[in-house]
Amino acid sequence: MTGNALALPPIAHQTLNELAYARLKHALLSGRIEPGTTLTLRQLAEQLGTSMMPVREAVTRLSAENALVVLPKRGIRVPQLNDEEAEDVWSLRLQLEGEACARAARHATRAELDRIGELCAGVRSAGEAGDLHGVLERNSDFQFAIYQAAHSTVLLQMIEILRMRSVPYCTAAVRVMLKERGDYYHQTWRNHDSVVAAITEGDAQRARREKQADIRAFRAFVRDVARRNDNQGPRALEEDSA
């Protein structure tokens, strides 16, 4: 056997690039990077434990997907969403995530249904513990377990792009939800349970309706929190982050 018989391709550089991209994408999809946060390539590289090259390439990819914006000499940020763009993003999320839930009801395997149920319970457990980052992480895993069960790569990619644009703007609302524990706190668990039940029972049309109702309710709550913060000004934001 010669020294080159296996002909294994080198993977280190490519793997680091893909891992950096995946980690940053997950941070956006789970709301860990919030609007107003300014990051640098050096900070991201230090947190990811890698050099700046794979981070730079990951940021370039995410910038091309409009998930991050690079401001010369001012760092890396979540891009601004004006009112018209926000309405477009949420309207498209309503349609595509509703469709994904309908397809999941038709195509999810038993193992996928079990995982969806477990992740749904995990989101609620984190919420009851008041664990903001636990809710964000587990909710992202829960939602994407459903969308993956739709078995459509194209649909999944489109949902990822839309959620990367909107989820960072939702973290402030989730923080308020866990702090106040008002009507929407209890409603969100009921909404999740209703979506899971419809998918588990294989009712595609009900799964679509329940998911769209869930998105509408969350969108309304996010808008309400944003308006309250706008009306109360910087002091409210300082108290909220205390």
Q: Distance between CA atoms of 104 and 102, rounded to whole angstroms?
A: 5
The pLDDT tens digits of the residues spanning 202-215 come to: 999 999 999 999 99
Structural domains present in the chain: 12-77 (1.10.10.10), 83-241 (1.20.120.530)
Q: Distance between CA atoms of 120 and 193, rounded to whole angstroms?
A: 7
DSSP annotation of 10: P
Calculate the CA 16 to chain-centre distance: 22
Claim: this prediction has a pTM higher than 0.75? yes
Q: Distance between CA atoms of 55 and 185, rounded to whole angstroms?
A: 36
Q: Are strands 69-71 and 75-77 parallel, antiparallel or unpaired?
A: antiparallel
Please name which of 216, 185, 9, 212 lies closest in space to residue 101, comparing C-alpha atoms: 212
pLDDT at res. 242: 38
CA atoms within 13 A on the CB side of 195: 31
Q: Which two tokens stand for residue 172?
A: 């402030």
Please name which of 168, 156, 160, 147 lies closest in space to residue 211, comparing C-alpha atoms: 147
Please name which of 155, 162, 195 lies closest in space to residue 91, comparing C-alpha atoms: 162
Q: Which two tokens stand for residue 80?
A: 């601004």
Q: What are phi and psi of 66, to 5 degrees?
A: 65, 25
Q: Which residues pair with 5 in a beta bridge?
A: none
The torsion of the CA quartet 105, 213, 166, 92, rounded to 10 degrees, works out to 70
Calculate the CA 39 to chain-centre distance: 19
pLDDT at res. 203: 98
**Mean pLDDT, the chain cut into blocks of 10 residues (242 residues total):** 54 74 94 91 91 93 94 89 95 98 98 98 98 97 98 98 96 97 97 98 98 98 92 51 40
pLDDT at res. 7: 58
- Longest CA–CA span in the chain (Å) reads 74
pLDDT at res. 124: 98
